[in-house]
Structure 1
């Protein structure tokens, strides 16, 4: 039985030893299934989502280290990889495929709700689009998530929290993938419906907060250890949504700016008045994420996550050539301190070895 790591070096050691090998085993399994999808377009998007977004599963599965029992930990990794694979696959289908229909996106993302609800019957999530036959790929992912969650001793206590976080995520995916002229008005209306329940922030910051699955993975990992007190569920939800999830996704958009400019894609960093305002707000998100982490059990673990986000994103190859982005990242790294630099160095070496 191991407690969650509380130091940067112990965290990285366990990631390399316990997380990455298991994640890659799971992804190999799903890649083989993806390669057998009959429909060419669905097969292409499924394979691309795994090959290009492996790091999403690697990062999300770190939360399995909150699971005390090694057998449960492997099951939590199985859930995280399957759920994140659904997320990445659907993101590709909505962003890079053949539809701009919000009803289609809504139906596709119903699979993410069903995946969190054991006993929910899978359905034809493709019925509003031309492409149909995935050979059971998406239903198998959904059932895998259901099967793991059903066995978690604390599942009943976290179920409502999982659905709440997933609803935010799915709404974002629906609104941001419609036709270009509809995206911002839809996101602004959605924000206005939720604004009273949020700390002071803009519509695009709220959208970013909704776009992460980290809170879901955190709750599932805690539920593997036994019954979960209602207070812990609320603390995780409030800590991860908005602040830690917001930091996560704003870092993602920060480094994607040049790519999104070239592709004409939506990027929430574009809506800041100037670089100074963006730096101020991202620093605020980091400080609030850090404060939220300190209010959680295993606070040192969650604090390492906030610093890890800074270090890992700072080493991404997309940063090269974006001087404005480098300026922002330097200030964030200074705020993150020695732990952020430790993760930066570790991530740089890992990327070099993988290359």
Structure 2
């Protein structure tokens, strides 16, 4: 079975193959999360697998790149994304806002990509430590899946590069409010010489996506790949595709973040017109970079699907200004995005009905 290239074949395989596999893995982590004795750890773990299951569904789409070895790809992607969502929840709920604590916990993501690394105490800066082995089990699941991927050793350096960006963002965006912007801007300045021209907050957005990492996992699970191909895949997703992904995520959360006083990268555009222009630019750059990849049509379909899922989110319907701008973005996406937009209710209905079964 080859890699699908048409919108309807992507959707068909998502519903028939990928989503059932994803939810089978999520059920394992949901049951483990229920056994966590610490209230905070248990609550945030369960919130991750219930409320953010769509992250695993979307990431799981990249298992279609692996053909006969989809099980290893799905196992890796679900476990890795579950770590991301669990730790993001813990950081959000942290009163101490200690960057050392955040970095220590996110060592789990680094060690998940290194089967030879010694596991550390991820909670060493916290009084509470008992998660009943939850985080270690997730790390071990990633490692086991990675060892079943023929191309993992070649893909690992590129995967680690993207993971390191993500881990840094999780530290800097969760520290005390007065420290966030100085840290984020200084971080951007260190990387700016190696980046195409962009704003600091656009770089931060690009680091917050796991799409490139999961694309690499899909290829690595399917067959041996060269390090050159892995770097090509990484460059195909970072920064433009990943930036578009997270900017759309922040775009639909504007009202909620404004009410809660949360960081939102879309707030730093000078006007709505500038934001729309930059989104248009990111989309054009993303499409150009994806055309350079193996199986370009597949990657383009997933990019359109990603845009559609965000633009069809029910949060958009409750924000008048956002809804109007979303219509402009939908036109920008063209017919493929419209196709996924019209079909996205299936995702939303399934998630509402049984978010982690």
TM above 0.5, one fold? yes
**Distance in 1 between residues matched to 2:117 and 2:232, nearest whole Å:** 27
Q: Match for residue 224 of structure 2?
A: 227
Q: Match for residue 339 of structure 2?
A: 342
**Distance in 2 between residues matched to 1:203 and 1:76, nearest whole Å:** 32
1:23-62 superposed matches below 5 A: 23-62=22-61
Cα distance change, pair 122–179 in 1 and its aligned pair in 2 (3 A): same
Q: Match for residue 355 of structure 2?
A: none
Q: Match for residue 165 of structure 2?
A: 168
When normalised by structure 1's length, the TM-score is: 0.97
Shift of 1:353: 5.2
Select which of 111, 125, 130 maps to 1:128. Answer: 125
Q: Match for residue 291 of structure 1?
A: 288
Superimposed CA distance per residue, residues 31-85 of structure 1 (whole angstroms, 9 cap, x where no aligned partner): 000000011111111111111100000000000000121xx10111010000000
Superimposed CA distance per residue, residues 196-230 of structure 1 (whole angstroms, 9 cap, x where no aligned partner): 11111000000000001111111111112222123
> Which consecutive unaligned segments of at least 5 residues does structure 1 have?
none
1:114 pairs with 2:111: yes
**Distance in 1 between residues matched to 2:293 and 2:320, nearest whole Å:** 36
> Which consecutive unaligned segments of at least 5 residues does structure 2 have?
353-357
The answer to whether the 8 Å contact 1:212/1:245 transfers is yes
Superimposed CA distance per residue, residues 70-127 of structure 1 (whole angstroms, 9 cap, x where no aligned partner): xx10111010000000000000010123430000000000110000001212221001
Cα distance change, pair 50–353 in 1 and its aligned pair in 2 (3 A): closer
When normalised by structure 2's length, the TM-score is: 0.96
Q: How many residues align?
A: 352
Superimposed CA distance per residue, residues 153-203 of structure 1 (whole angstroms, 9 cap, x where no aligned partner): 111111111111100000000000000110011000000000011111000
Shift of 1:253: 0.3
**Distance in 1 between residues matched to 2:282 and 2:86, nearest whole Å:** 28
- Which stretch of the first structure deviates more once superposed, 36-45 or 342-351? 342-351
Tell me, what secondary structure is at the counterpart of 1:68?
helix
Shift of 1:296: 0.6
Q: Match for residue 180 of structure 1?
A: 177
The answer to whether the 8 Å contact 2:53/2:351 transfers is no
**Distance in 2 between residues matched to 1:169 and 1:94, nearest whole Å:** 14
1:185-196 superposed matches below 5 A: 185-196=182-193
Shift of 1:290: 0.9
User: Which segments of structure 1 move beyond 3 Å, counting only runs of 4 or more?
Assistant: 352-355
The answer to whether the 8 Å contact 2:37/2:131 transfers is yes
